[in-house]
Amino acid sequence: MIALIGGTGLEGMGLALRLAQAGERIIIGSRSEARAREAADRVKARLPQADVRGAENAAAAREADVIVVTVPYEGHQETLELLRDHIAAKVVIDAVVPLELGRGRVSVLPVEEGSAAQQAQRLLPRARVAAAFQHINAERLADLDAFLDADVVVCGDDPDAKRAAMALAEKIGGVRALDGGGLANARYLEQTTALLVVLNRIHKARSSIRFTGI
Amino acid sequence: MIALIGGTGLEGMGLALRLAQAGERIIIGSRSEARAREAADRVKARLPQADVRGAENAAAAREADVIVVTVPYEGHQETLELLRDHIAAKVVIDAVVPLELGRGRVSVLPVEEGSAAQQAQRLLPRARVAAAFQHINAERLADLDAFLDADVVVCGDDPDAKRAAMALAEKIGGVRALDGGGLANARYLEQTTALLVVLNRIHKARSSIRFTGI
């Protein structure tokens, strides 16, 4: 069972749809149980066979085996602190990018630990953290009619977490998972997302990345 | 006429080969005129019809219309300071990435101006600077038998410089140029190169990037 923490946003909803479509059991988590249930209903309206329900974040984290974090960066630290005991030693896949989007300007916020994923590891010392899904366009992910033509680079220090994240990514049609080395490399995933956002704004696109030659 | 400053390295040689193949007139620049001439001879050995010669960096910068900078980052500042008067108000295409490659570790060096390309603009206030070619794999570039399957994102504040860089990139077979906005975005190009280097090491590959959905 996979929990999508902060799963009512576009990224979380997109992952819920794609992973439910692939047959995974999903709990969408939110600070508000009502909004989590509404989000689950929206997934079921699109995919009637989906095994998906909504719950408050803590309940979602408690019940799931794998925790995918898709909160906005502003809520990253606080959310993970609140969930620490529920997550315990589980696999955590952090998809959060510390971006600040201003008018005509995209900034990567400085993160003391080096990256949001490394911050997650510090806040959840027992958990096994991997970074993934930073480069998948959330709008394309949430649009089941859109073909995803994307590589998902996975960084992590724990082999099980990395394997779990790579396997999950490859359940999504059109996605290839690539080993991106240790968790310290997550900063480069997050920085590269800034480039994607810049290109999307200029080209009015919903772009993802393919690494050619691998 | 295009000068490749620091053009005897792999990146510079690759650009010399590909641009000469496309019919451009090339001067390979080096601190050593002898090494520049040797490099030009190597291009001509591979492409007998190439219009290419070697010169000391200052002479190359003086004679060319467009200056492409491919020095290692350690020599970036000093080289540009020495060439300032020769470059004057010409178009400069900076391909330099401030990377430090250690054993098992790739680091992006902090650049006070934000990126190597912005450093070039500060050092060459009259020049019209664009950032480009950070994501093209130098080994594949220098291997004329290799198909380049790559996007080149170009950042710059001067429209002429950007247009020149994009036109040059698209003279290389298999390359698409993409507008990447202002020069301040060059930092994201340079950071993304770190991700490419990480992936190349892990996968023993010579990877480039394609942005899908654009």
pLDDT, one tens digit per residue, over B32-63 is 999 999 999 999 999 999 999 999 999 999 99
At A100, list the tokens. Answer: 């600040």
Instruction: State how far Cα A98 lies from the chain centre.
Output: 13
Q: What integer pLDDT is reported at residue B102 of this predicted model?
A: 82
Q: Which residues of chain A register pLDDT less than 50?
A: none
pLDDT for residue B90 is more than 80: yes
ipTM: 0.94
Would you call A137 and B213 a contact, using CB atoms and an 8 Å cutoff?
Answer: yes
- The answer to whether residue B93 scores a pLDDT higher than 90 is yes
- Is B138 in CB contact (< 8 Å) with chain A? no
Q: Please report the residues numbered 53 through 112 in chain B whose beta carbons come closer than 8 angstroms to any beta carbon of chain A.
A: 106, 108
pLDDT at A75: 96
Contacts A181 to B, Cβ<8 Å: 198, 201-202
Cα distance between residue A113 and residue A119, in whole Å: 5
pLDDT of residue A102: 82
- B145-163 average pLDDT score: 97
When pLDDT is averaged across residues B117-146 and rounded to a whole number, the result is 97
Q: Rounded to two decimals, what is the model's pTM? A: 0.95
Partners of residue A202 in chain B, C-beta under 8 Å: 179-181
Structure tokens at B39: 């490099």
- Assign B103 a pLDDT band (cuts: 50, 70, 90): confident
Q: What is the DSSP string of B130-157?
A: EE--TTS-HHHHH-TTSPP-EEEEEEES
Mean pLDDT across B145-174? 97
State the DSSP code for A23: T
Contact B181 A189 (CB under 8 A): no
Local confidence band at B116 (pLDDT 50, 70, 90 cut-offs): very high
